[in-house]
Structure 1
Amino acid sequence: MVRGARKFLALGVAAAVVYSIKEQLNFVPGPRHAAPVAAAAAASMMMAPAAFADEIGDASKKLGDASYNFAKEVDWNNGIFLQAPGKFQPLKALKAIDKMIEMGAAADPKLLKAAAEAHHKAIGSISGPNGVTSRADWDEVNAALGRVVASVPKAKVMAVYDAVKDITDPKVPAYMKSLVNGPDAEKAYQGFLEFKDVVAKNQVTAASAPAVVPSGDKIGAAAKQLSDASYPFIKDIDWLPDIYLKPLPGKTAPETLKAIDKMIVMGAKMDGNLLKAAAEAHHKAIGSVDSKGVTSAADYEAVNAALGRLVASVPKETVMDVYNSMAKIVDPTVTNNMFSKVNPLDAVAAAKGFYTFKDVAQASQR
């Protein structure tokens, strides 16, 4: 399976938990676990019509009144959000992730960027043992997410809902509700239903046009060279075990969140059209994934080209912030363990190809 798509698996699991709790009157969107979503799909808020902005913004404040007590009760640092919400079924979960990617690709890039920036700000105000953000930032995140959802046709939103429902064990909602105050959870959910109605009232009926995909550029040519050098390595990898959902050894959720925050900042600076193009490339690549979780060589190449262009649309220092923050939280034993699971010659060839590709992307960087 394409590497970028595989990284979305943990996100899919978190979304499944989100669905299941909502189903049992126990969840509203939160800045902490929406963060991976904003990292994978971020992009500067448009000047929306006043009625649109005010209506969803005002509704988010009412949602905050109904849900913030509940938000303070949730242990956002709990590792349970990294677990599968039922039987571990990676290929089936990937179908749900694909629906999320489709929804992200259909969303307004400027509103995605605004949502990413709201999450970045919210991470900055996190405090207390449960890792909850401030009330003001809670409201802003909910408003930003509501606007993103309103920029996507209802059918695509419901496709995500249905796909996540399909991978969620029916016992999960009751368990999650048992971890918080029941009446507060029910009040939060009722507030969410009212908020949902306001978002639906402002929802678009048609998806935006597909991305304009560059062609004939140096990054595209370099992506072919990288893909030729690394595809054998990709086929060596076992994409289906649950190791990709395991927390990084020796690191707490707050420590990991600092690295996620850097990803969100990077995502918010990406070119909106290129971000949509990368999402569309991942969607196509998921369509060619085989029973071992590996996408086709052509789709793998297209994803590499799309990601290279994305990185080139972001200042180097922002990219390096992500690299350095990840280096701080990934123990060398992790890389050694992953290296031991593949053909070392294929891994070295892939690394060499990546370094060459990195140089080409950097030469095109703004």
Structure 2
Amino acid sequence: MQKKRSPIPAVYLHIPFCRTICPFCSFTVRRDRAKMHEKYIRGMVGEIDRRAEMLKDMERKENEEKLSGQILLKSIYIGGGTPSCLTIPEVSVLLTKVRENFPWSDQIEIAFEMNPDDVNPEYLSGLADIGVNRLSLGGQSFQTSTLQKLGRCHTVADLRNAIAVITNSSFDNWNLDLMFGIPEQSIVMFKNDVEEALRYEPSHISLYGLEIHERTPFGNNPQIRNWEPEHLEQFEEMYLWATDNLEKAGLFQYEISNFSKKTKEGRQNLLVWSGQEYLGFGVGAHSYHRQTRWGNVRSIRTYLQNLGQNTWPTEFIEQLSGKQLAVEFLMLGLRQCEGINIKEWQTRYGLHLQNQQLNFVQELCDDGRAFWEGQHLCLTPKGMLLADRITVQLMP
């Protein structure tokens, strides 16, 4: 009997509900209303069923004897928004539906984002019972003034209590989010955040510099918009200090924003950054399959209406060109500490670096922002800060 297969290695489930909307957030989020959960989850279940059937139809039409891709699903990431707004039975409905359509390995990683004020022993026990085995805690800071500036709904006491509950639970694989580059956050305050985080020995820390996005309260605030370019040196000092001290504490950088103990890297991260295919379900979720990328609409009402009318809830769909694939491969490679094999990249996409690009690479190396590891061009932490700009400059 042929073993069932999953056509893709990774699934993302987007839960948009939040009790409060952070003023810096540009993700697809909506204020939480418990009465919306059932309708939304029913919509996601329908989308999962339809997308899985579409992939099966594609395989049948091509007369392939076996499904292409992975034998079993390797990763599920439940993000938001605030997934911990959901009850355990609501989360279970989604995971059950994914498993029905995308058979998964016993070694699958199922990651779940949480707000500190949602963490309690009963909830964690419920998550473990339905298969969740990695937690990501949106802590951001151990400073009251910083949390207030970010509009977070939890307190420092909530965060410390959440960490205590996690460390006394069965979860040994958990991430803590920290943010830096925040208006009125001093370098000393940020260092205190990192040092306190390390005392709790998380298996993973994600370190995010504040980004100011248009059409957010922060983006509409001239004072905050002006703060960012005026404090670039402070931003760089915070980041470089953190990368150095996290490594000394045994958390090794494997991507611009991510640091982990050995073997505790986020699996979803690794799959996506290595160019693997993935499916995203829910409002605003993105997918990548067979060199085609699409993203869902951001409105819950439109999302549910489209599904109710048996149409795809997509806002855009694009078949990636050779140049787009080359840019993506370069960008994803440079974000990772192992870098990118430049020779392989040029061969794969029929490219050839000109003297202008080669001179630029030499300048990066001379400036301590990059180095060669065999055929791999790797960015240093100092270079990581300019990864997007470097990607643009390197394209022939």
| TM-score bin, normalised by smaller chain | under 0.3
Kindly indicate which of the two structures has a greater share of residues assigned to strand: 2
Kindly indicate which of the two structures has a greater share of residues assigned to helix: 1
The normalised TM-score by structure 1 is 0.22
The normalised TM-score by structure 2 is 0.21
Larger radius of gyration: 2
